[in-house]
Structure 1
């Protein structure tokens, strides 16, 4: 009998790999801060962008899972599979990526810009809104896990657009700095 991805063993392996990846990421950060290369800003910026991309990928994928999960019969094997996928996406990718994004982003905002600039304040407000969306999705993961989702697939289709709109505005603030 083959092992399913919803079994505990593959989940434990995925969790262990995620912890190793996060530990390596943090070790790289520690080495960079101790080494203090001339291009430390570029290294931090690159790591920040990697975290942002990971966070955005998760924020864009999670509502798609909710759309399909909404159509699954509670208690069915399909529903249980979606629960596992949502939990792993949230805990293994989405939460760590958000935390790293925030820590490195705040470091850059402080060390490079001294938290000055209207564009930066607008960008931070938009990132706070993105974080609110993250919290909404995390609550939905818990509601789906309890088979208590009250939202329709149509609602989740609309919510699937929110991260994209916020991402576009955040990128414009970061690159164009219109204010």
Structure 2
């Protein structure tokens, strides 16, 4: 079980690295002047490759988490309300990941409707979600 936990943590950390950096690329894309086609294309390529890699990391992160939850029974039973709260936040993280994919497709189609300040705030969401998950797992408040 410790091997599974270890790999789960490694994949989660790697997945979050992508979720931290991808919106930062969106900030830069929102700031690109219309005449800078080469810069826009380079940032779009970076974002596309990062999104693909981040998605590949999310799959084993979630699969190993499910293995720990269902296979080993971590968080099951009475007094494990923290796990329900954690799973809710994980669902929000998966939604955030999906939203990043939608935003990337809009940038690729040239139909971005938001400014760089909005993406700067959007970039803070995974930090908050990660802090909440870590606190729930370590402290297990309920």
Same fold (TM over 0.5): yes
Which position in structure 2 is the counterpart of 1:126? Answer: 89
Aligned Cα root-mean-square deviation (Å): 1.2
Structure 1 residue 55 displacement after superposition: 0.7
> Any unmatched runs of 5+ in structure 1?
1-40
Name which structure has the greater RCO, CA cutoff 8 Å, separation 6+. Answer: 2
Q: CA deviation at 1:176?
A: 1.0
Q: How many residues are matched?
A: 138
Choose the corresponding residue for 1:56, options 9, 13, 16.
16
SS of aligned partner of 2:140 = coil
2: CA distance, partners of 1:121 / 1:114 = 8
- For the pair 1:82 / 2:43, whether they are aligned, the reply is yes
Aligned to 2:60: 100
- 1:176 maps to 139
Match of 2:106 in 1: 143
The unaligned stretches of length 5 or more in structure 2 are none
CA deviations 1:3-27 (Å, max 9, x no partner) are: xxxxxxxxxxxxxxxxxxxxxxxxx
Other-structure match for 1:43: 3
Structure 1 segments of 4+ aligned residues over 4 angstroms from their partners: none
SS at structure 2 position matched to 1:148? coil
Distance in 1 between the 2:18 and 2:140 partners?
26
Q: Distance in 2 between matches of 1:107 and 1:132?
A: 21
Match of residue 30 from structure 2: 70
Would the aligned equivalents of 2:19 and 2:126 in 1 still touch at CA under 8 Å?
yes
Output the CA distance in 2 between the equivalents of 1:156 and 1:103. 29
Distance 2:59 2:137 in 1: 19
Deviation of 1:73 (Å): 3.0
